[in-house]
Every structure is written in C-alpha cells, then in structure tokens.
Amino acid sequence: MDIIDSHHHLWHYDAAQYPWIPPASLLAQTYLGEEITAAATSAGITGTVVVQARQSIQETADLCTIAEKFPIVRGVVGWLPLIEENIAQLLAEWTQQPALKGLRHVLQEEPVEFFRNPHFHRGLAAMAATNLRYDLLIYEHQIPLAIEILDAHPQLPMILDHIGKPVIQNGEISSTWRDGMRQMSERDNLIGVKISGMVTEVRDATLDDATLCQYIDETIEIFGIDRVMFGTDWPVCLLRVEQYRHWPDLVRAHLSRLSSAEQQAIFSQNAIRCYQM
C-alpha cells in the first residue's frame, strides 16, 4: 500500500536559526534528505510532505531543493511572508516551483491580533488565487480563531495540522477539542485533517495507545474518511517515541479494521488529492 507521511520536518540544525529547539534536545541535530529517506523507507513509507519549521524564505528554497534531490519527498509546505505588501508577486514567483504545494505560518505562537491582522488576511486572499493550500497550525483553544479564518476565506483550501493540537490526557477526550472540531468540520474549505503530532500533546508521563487511537477514531467520525490523512511530525515525535516507525505501526494496526479503500484514502489518496501531488 502506498503510504504518504503528510507531515514531517527537515533542518540543518543551527541554534540561532531554530531557537525553539533547546541545544540539549535530541532535535538539536541535522535531519535532511538522507535521514528522512532512511527512516521512512524502513517504516514502509513510500512518500512524504515536508513542512516548514522556521519562518524563512531561505528554508522554503532549501526544502524545495531537497524535494528535487530525494524522490521520497513529494511535496513541500513552505513559508512566505503573507503580511508583506509584495505577497502577490512572491506567490506568482513561487507557484512556478513544482515542489511547493502549500504554505504555513506558526499561528500557534501568535497573539489574537495576528489572526485578525488585515495584512495577513490580504496574503491569504492572494493565496486563494493560486493552487497552493494553507496549513493551519493551532492549539485547541485557538479553534474559534481558526474558524474565523476559514469563514473569511471560503475559496482557500486549508488543512489542519495535528488534529488541532488537543490537550491530551490519558483516558479522556477533550470536550473543548471535540466541540471545536465539530464546528470546523462544517467548513467545506477545510479539506484535510492530519492525524499527526499527537504524541507530543500528551500531558501524562507515559503514552496511552488507547487514548491516542480514540482521538483518531473521533477525528474520522467528525470529518469522515475522505478528509483524514496520516502524518508523523518526525523528528519532533521522537521527543515521545523512540523510533520513526512507532506511529505508522500504531496507526496501521489500529486502522486495519477498515476496508482497503478506506485505508488507502487515509494513508495516501487524501494527501495526494489535497496537496495535488
């Protein structure tokens, strides 16, 4: 079965360029094309989408270069300065880059004012005239702000990263998250939701696979098979699991009860369609 990891990161580690990575962290090392090819291939992954990890046009260029050199990387979600006046010109230039499939801004770290910044919305409106998708990176408490963005730009296809980053506690499902996700599911321009990045949202000292699987089930129930896509958030997920393959193995085992067509949708076809790969 074709399996697409719809969300991972790559970087040449530099403390100044990646201040969010503590120097003593296992993330404080280089993860590039060779590393993702080896890790993904060993886990049975056939293709990936690499997502920006710092807000830099240079990183976007570097990720596109990696995609050109390493066939396993089938698409790039990069970053461009959407709040800049020349964003329409930048988009015209960057949409000529075949590897670039979408853009993302680290909204989870921004104040409420940024979500409503008219310059940011001007950039999103300009994106709607392109074939690029916009990745939403938020915490569960920011879901109402994300809904405002979705409603303001109904013509812009968007994809939700990490199932909206719920506050995960073993044996529980966040009601705030569930209610917010149900509201988001009513927006047709939210074309995809990634079951990724969940292990690092667990507040307990140990991971409970049953709770994580329940979040997967809730997401599928809310959004349906055709909007859910598999992803890992590697190498960030290594903060809670020992190996890349831990998450794909868990998700494959849990979703084995689904039909072949349903599994193919979640593991590859939805990502391929949403990112136009």
pLDDT tens digits, residue range 52-81? 999 999 999 999 999 999 999 999 999 999
Query: What mean pLDDT is predicted for residues 201-214?
Result: 98
pLDDT at 110: 98
Mean local confidence (pLDDT), 96-124: 98
Q: What is the pLDDT of residue 1?
A: 87
Closest Cα partner for 140 from 124, 160, 114?
160
Question: What's the mean pLDDT in 228-247?
Answer: 97
Is residue 245 within 8 Å of residue 224, measured between CB atoms?
no
Distance CA 249, CA 52 (A): 25
Asked if pLDDT for residue 87 goes beyond 90, the answer is yes
**Is a pLDDT exceeding 90 seen at residue 234?**
yes
Per-residue pLDDT at 189 exceeds 90: yes
For residues 22 and 139, which has the higher predicted lDDT (pLDDT)? 139
Mean pLDDT estimate for the chain: 97
User: For position 181, what pLDDT does the model report?
Assistant: 98
Q: Express as a percent the part of the chain with pLDDT over 70.
A: 100
Residue identified by tokens 């066939």 is: 71
The tally of CA atoms less than 13 A away on the side-chain side of residue 48 is 34
State how far Cα 248 lies from the chain centre: 15
Provide the strand spans (E) within the chain: 4-8, 47-51, 73-78, 100-104, 133-136, 158-160, 190-195, 228-230
Domains and CATH numbers, the chain: 4-274 (3.20.20.140)
